[in-house]
Amino acid sequence: MTYADSTERAALIGGLRALADYLESDPEVSAPSYADVFIFPPDCTCAETRAEIDVMAVLLGAKACQTAGGQHYIVTRSFGPLEYRAIAICKGHHLDNEPSGE
């Protein structure tokens, strides 16, 4: 997976605004009580994806952390009930160790 280019990014932002406007304009349309936006760094080594999350943490003004199981490294920023979450998934290896056999 790669990140959105400038055209895709603009389309996503426009779509989010359009959704918000639509939900605000018609209170009879059901809306969730919360929503999540997930982003995943490109498929790289565990150390590289964790470094990406650290960069995102600085940009978001948040602190990255490792999940209890050790395979996910995440940073989250909340916008009310909307959460932006960047996740590095270390497949088949633990912490900063490189995967064996990949």
pLDDT in tens, 44-74: 888 999 999 999 999 999 999 998 787 899 9
Q: What is the pTM of this model?
A: 0.78
Decide if 30 contacts 23 (C-beta within 8 A). no
Mean of the per-residue pLDDT values of the chain? 88
Which residue bears the tokens 């406007």? Answer: 21
In terms of pLDDT, which residue wins out, 63 or 101? 63
The pLDDT of residue 88 is above 50: yes
CB-based burial of residue 25 (10 Å sphere; 0-12 exposed, 13-18 middle, 19+ buried)? Answer: exposed
